[in-house]
Amino acid sequence: MKEYQLAKKVCDVSVGESVKIIRELQELSQNELAKLTGIPQSTLSAIEHDKINLGLERAKILAKALKCHPAVLVFPGWNIEIAA
């Protein structure tokens, strides 16, 4: 079996940036995501610009709409090996 090296981390991503990146990967506008989640577009913009905290409940709602685990949004820079 081939062994792999972990890629080097080249940048840090904030919680807001992770929401924006995943939203864009899903090809959703903020308005479309707002309709899917019931979270106002202005609130989504504030989250993406790190003006307000995402919060656990909003993370759950967004994760469902973005088809990802809430931890992906809440802990974008988590390194399991360092944390262990």
Instruction: Note the residue count of the chain.
Output: 84
Q: What are the extents of the domains in the chain?
A: 15-77
Across residues 15-32, what is the average pLDDT? 95
Q: Which residue has the tokens 């809440």?
A: 74
Q: What average pLDDT does the structure give for the chain?
A: 88
Check residue 3 and give its pLDDT. 80
Residue 4 Ramachandran class (φ > 0 left, ψ -120 to 50 alpha, else beta): beta
Categorize the per-residue pLDDT at 75 as very low, low, confident or very high, splitting at 50, 70 and 90: confident
Structure token digits, residue 22: 């995943």
**Taking the domain 15-77, which CATH number applies?**
1.10.260.40
Amino acid making up residue 7:
A
Containing 16, the helix (H) or strand (E) segment is helix 15-25
Residue 38: how many CB atoms within 10 A of its CB?
8
Q: What is the pTM of this model?
A: 0.79
